[in-house]
Structure 1
């Protein structure tokens, strides 16, 4: 009978070394505090009569890699020590199976010598005989050390896996007055480290792998004895919750498999289930308290704006990690702050369609905008209103103390809910959103910024036109779903900003800043306009200031296309008399207008603005002198204020005849006569001094362009000559001439006598319609 081998049930388990991972000593603090811990560790200095001895584990259990990390920790500590024979002395001993003196305390006298010697230490290997090394110090003391009056510090760097007893020799060393720090490497046995360390153990057990944290903990403990001091007196040692972790290998039952059993004495083979296992690495956690020193840092003032993260670099420097839209900006704040003079009202949707989250997002946007754009020198003012069914002005424009006060007011604005009535909100915002802001041309630019994510439940086109007619610039921010509605409200795709999410909304801040302070290029070059400048050339102005007026007129003329079909410019001066320097149809090119303006005479004497305006009415702004039917007309009066007492009635006569009149008043005081001259629309620009005229050019050009776009009455001023009557009909006009005159504008005298005989019948008054355009000249 063949022999049968009965196989014993054998489970073969192979344990392979798990790849080491860095052990952790995790301090439960914010990233900002971690940065402060790291920064403080680099600002400490230890200078006193102290003997410091490093006892470095060189056994096989830590390996060469951890041995090098232990050396690096020791070198980092030495960088903060005032090493010299009279102050700090440093020595080093390596231990494994037996202690090995690397260099005694009295052999090296400078920091550089100690660092060099530590770097040259060679890993020896062997068993971990920590207790044997401690007994070496108990028998012989610190090699090269001074007498007992000098404090002694022993820094043990080990994995805590000693093959002998350590508790008794460690206790005996501490009883002799030696301060012992236990610094772990690799995956330390924390129980043994606590046995080695002095009391309080939380302050004397560290982890060498995190060098900056470990050195901070070491120096924090030594600072209590005035051995080490930090750079700032405001630095404080504080406890923080932390965890000590190490890695252990555990066996885990996975299942069972079929095993075969048999023997030489039997003919059969038996099968039986056999268990099999897997091995895995797990972290074991030890809760603890870590004492670390932190100092006031450059990030305490939160210098990084708009969601940026402040990263300290030492105690007085930092850099900001900025969101994408602010990466090129210092402190994540756009360099383009709102330097322009402007009033901005943010209109926030607070309806059910927006949701509370969307409303909070809109408020956060306004906060960041204010923080990035406003400062104590800013000429911009901000207000905030919310709406659903009704408009509520929560922060009137400019009514806050400073930016923090504005932010606090924003936090207090509640969510409303209800219907989304954007049209009604626009109407109300245009009428009362800017409060009692100054009227007239000298007021700041006014901008309404609408933030919404839901479509309006009422009509928006009419209220938007009403708001724009009140010279409000409308800007819109919203999601893609409301893009079309925002374009209808603002009147231009260029005035709409669309965002995808909350972070993208914050990225719109630089673009919004640009839109708020950018103005279209001054001038309305393609718009037809008949423009007359009336300059005060009286003795009250003087020749020097009159020359400044001439320069101002030339700079304004540069903003127009001077042409017989586009803009015509005339100039009248008044003083001792009234004189037309050049009429509307005198010059048909800009260079000629500029030369003629420079040649306008200074008259002196006493001037009458009323007489000069009547002169323009009768002899300049007429069809006979080049004024064009159907073309907007404007007169700009530049005056020092004297001689304006009789000007209100002539100015109103011009306005009644379809001619806009604007007053540029120069001087520190604005007289009541000038206010009356400005008329009911408050068409007035007040300039403090003649030298400041250039700063008001754009405001004047903007007003002129608005006037150039106003609808005109084709019969004002009347295009009909020789007392003919202008009659509007079907979008055009005709001239009904008096007896004896004929022609499209009654410009031709009717011939009598021979003309009647030749024609056979007398001519009838012309009744043909005339389209707006130019009169025959």
Structure 2
């Protein structure tokens, strides 16, 4: 396969509460460019984990001839901290002693500070080169402790991984980590994303909950942080209500909790008015001056009460370099969805039922990636 989807990895690993250590090869066989790709790849995997001190704890070890512990199992409070830390890892080059790294991780990290009793242990080895020392015995020691080992080869024919696979001691994945795999996760692509979600009286309480679940799925599967994707949420019905601004929360856990706490407003549907008011919302904590992509996701299930100013207000958003995605459900007016998206059909999404909202994530993320993946600060 080209790369590991993070949802497949977590489903296979069954990781909900665990002590997880990433063991990353930084030997000369990797090279600086590939090491940067590995950093982004590991960030994506961390993004799929429930990182906190009561859920998944994360440690970081790198190795060449000698291993080095950069972070222990009590180092990070949430996944954003861990992801930001991964970005700063230095690349050293040198030889590759995978066996020594595995033993070091067992003795110094899994038996070290922050390690918990009666919690499953998981080692994730990311390597590209043949080890200069023995690997099988080290894997056996980890298995006996017990530690479940996942080996991720960044080359489809990475040596040693198949030798390590014996019995049930190791779950083996091969992952050709390339620019393609990094782009698939929208790595290193900051964006300011605001959800403008309808909360009128025509939406049932259950359907409003499903809208919140959709927003949470986008957040969960994205790299969120101060220098990555920032998220804001505004509700609209007869009036608008700011739930939280782009500079209010920078961790997934905080954002997910804030979305969970949203209360439906009821009332009418003043979509045009909401589009006017949300424009100012992008100025509060947004990074437009740094040319960070500005993205608005409008979620609605019917026609606007006063559609006359819909086109004018949508055009004003685009004049401010804000890309509008129209997401319609059930009775949404498809003409109005297209108007809000600037007649760009690729930015219009529609499902027949609220249950189907979460299926849109992959489609929407692909379009967002195409907007953000090559944009850097100041360009």
**What is the TM-score when the length of structure 1 is the normalising length?**
0.24
Q: Which has the higher strand share?
A: 1
Q: Which has the higher helix share?
A: 2
Q: Greater CA radius of gyration, 1 or 2? A: 1
**What is the TM-score when the length of structure 2 is the normalising length?**
0.48
